[in-house]
């Protein structure tokens, strides 16, 4: 059997989607290993897998914690410290600090997070097949300017504008010197520097397939993408251990509204606080409902306690979703997929990154309502919750997409896709991905 190395970004939202794949591959007899910065260690070990830390001197524990800054100056200070750590880590990769990982693990396949793509470059230099996995919807729908423009001139202008902005940020010390580091790493591992992309959020190794962990019917609007995307089952790990929770505080005779701000937070502390206070005001206006607040690590749960509100930093979402009537979420891709898995309608209040695009997908599929956070008001939120609670159309759409999710898990399990890549020569990977994208 094969040795498969999984290299996720070190956060709940990136490790959790890989766990079902890892368990499935292990059940099929493969050796499954994880590697990454030390911040991923506890998440992986808790799930029962081997973990190989890398780049420890550059990215010590805490390097990927949420900023949680209370003001602009503090945010800039933390961003500059983070940038220095990333620059140092990329310098280390260019010096060959990932080579020892490959020598020790000798992987037959690397499953690499799009957010930390560097193991794929090392795999290229060692002639080891690799596949990317994406923790969200295709990037063209998150950042439309990343879609292939219709003319070469347009593409050049976009690349120039983005490159100029990133160069300016690098001069100010708030962004790593990505192009310089990428070129150095590419040369070390025999990858053509001229093929490196210039857009942000790059897929550094072109032609590799990219796994989207959701059926196409949810993750992609209508229309064709000229891409390497492989749409597979949602890969929700129902076996992950639950978080401790005061179950005795829940009223069993009230409809449950679950509110989660995600596992990290710190995107915009002031905006998050406003959202929390608005949802709390709505909760206090509906004493006949039971609310659970998962406020994330950057906020204090005790600030949002009431007779009908149980507030915690982290909540066992999978166990609560089985009881929930509706969910209020920040729009993290994993939380949204878990809501769909249980057929629960949503109010999505996106805060950053891919979340606005995910919120638009939720609304366009009739699975819930998109509420921009700066426009959020308690009375409007209550109207949306009343609608989700009482109008059958929401539950019907959620149940239909739930059925499609379960069908995708049966028909296109992610473990099948990964094993298929093991059996194919590298030259066939791009053809496989192209065929899957056109389906």
Q: pLDDT tens digits, the chain, 439 residues: what are they?
A: 899 999 999 988 899 999 999 999 999 999 999 999 999 999 999 999 999 999 999 999 999 887 666 778 888 898 899 999 999 999 999 999 999 999 999 999 999 998 899 999 999 999 999 999 988 988 777 765 555 544 456 666 776 777 788 788 888 888 888 889 999 999 999 999 988 876 555 566 777 888 999 998 898 765 545 557 888 999 998 988 888 999 999 998 999 999 998 876 666 788 899 999 999 999 999 999 999 999 988 888 999 999 999 999 999 999 999 999 999 999 999 999 999 999 999 999 999 889 999 999 999 999 999 999 999 999 999 999 999 999 999 999 999 999 999 999 999 889 999 999 887 655 454 444 444 444 4
The domain 247-407 belongs to what CATH superfamily? Glycogen Phosphorylase B; (3.40.50.2000)
Instruction: Provide φ and ψ at 321, rounded to 5°.
Output: -65, -30
- Are 178 and 188 in contact by the 8 Å Cβ rule? The answer is no
* 279-287 contact pairs (CB < 8 A, 24+): 279/328, 279/378, 279/381, 280/304, 280/306, 280/309, 281/378, 282/378, 282/381, 282/382, 282/385, 283/257, 283/259, 283/308, 283/309, 284/308, 284/309, 285/378, 285/382, 286/257, 286/382, 286/385
Q: pTM for the full model?
A: 0.88
Tokens 């019917």 — which residue? 217
The greatest distance separating any two alpha carbons of the chain, rounded to the nearest whole angstrom, comes to 64
Where do you find CATH 3.40.50.2000 in the chain? 3-233+412-438, 247-407
The hierarchical CATH code for the domain 3-233+412-438 is 3.40.50.2000
* 191-195 contact pairs (CB < 8 A, 24+): 191/121, 191/124, 191/125
Cα separation of 361 and 346, whole Å?
12
């Amino acid at each position: 059997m094969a040795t498969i190395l999984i290299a996720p970004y070190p956060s709940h939202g990136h490790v959790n989607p890989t766990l079902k794949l890892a368990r499935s591959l292990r059940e099929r007899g493969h050796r499954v290993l994880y590697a990454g910065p030390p911040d991923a260690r506890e998440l992986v070990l808790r799930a029962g897998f081997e973990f190989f830390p890398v780049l420890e001197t550059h990215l010590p524990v805490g390097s990927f914690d949420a900023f949680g800054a209370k003001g602009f100056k503090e945010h800039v200070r933390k961003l500059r410290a983070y940038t220095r750590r990333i620059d140092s880590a990329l310098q280390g990769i260019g010096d060959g600090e990932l080579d020892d990982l490959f020598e020790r693990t000798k992987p037959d396949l690397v499953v690499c997070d799009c957010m930390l793509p560097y193991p794929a470059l090392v795999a290229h230099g060692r002639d080891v097949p690799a596949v990317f996995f994406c923790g969200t919807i295709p990037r063209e729908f998150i950042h439309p300017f990343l879609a292939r423009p219709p003319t070469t001139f347009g593409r050049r202008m976009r690349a120039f504008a983005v490159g100029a902005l990133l160069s300016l940020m690098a001069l100010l010390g708030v962004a790593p010197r990505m192009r310089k580091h990428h070129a150095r790493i590419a040369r070390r591992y025999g990858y053509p520097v001229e093929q490196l992309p210039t857009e942000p959020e790059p897929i550094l190794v072109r032609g590799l397939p990219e796994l989207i962990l959701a059926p196409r019917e949810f993750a992609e609007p209508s229309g064709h993408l000229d891409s390497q995307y492989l749409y597979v089952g949602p890969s929700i790990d129902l076996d992950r251990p639950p978080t401790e929770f005061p179950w005795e505080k829940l009223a069993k005779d009230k409809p449950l509204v679950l509110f989660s701000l995600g596992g990290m937070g710190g995107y915009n502390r002031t905006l998050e606080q406003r959202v929390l206070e608005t949802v709390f005001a709505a909760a206090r206006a509906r004493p006949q409902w039971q609310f659970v607040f998962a406020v994330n690590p950057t906020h204090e749960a005790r600030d949002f306690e009431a007779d009908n509100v149980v507030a915690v930093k982290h909540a066992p979402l999978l166990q609560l979703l089985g009881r929930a009537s509706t969910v209020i979420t920040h729009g993290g891709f994993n939380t949204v997929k878990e809501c769909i898995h249980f057929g629960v309608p949503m109010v999505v209040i996106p805060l950053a990154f891919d979340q606005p695009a995910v919120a638009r997908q939720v609304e366009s599929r009739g699975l819930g309502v998109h509420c921009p956070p700066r426009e959020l008001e308690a009375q409007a939120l209550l109207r949306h919750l009343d609608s989700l609670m009482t109008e059958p159309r929401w539950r019907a759409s959620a149940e239909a997409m739930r059925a499609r999710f379960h069908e995708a898990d049966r028909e296109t399990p992610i473990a099948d896709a990964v094993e298929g890549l093991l059996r194919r020569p590298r030259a066939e990977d791009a053809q496989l991905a192209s065929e899957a994208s056109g389906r």
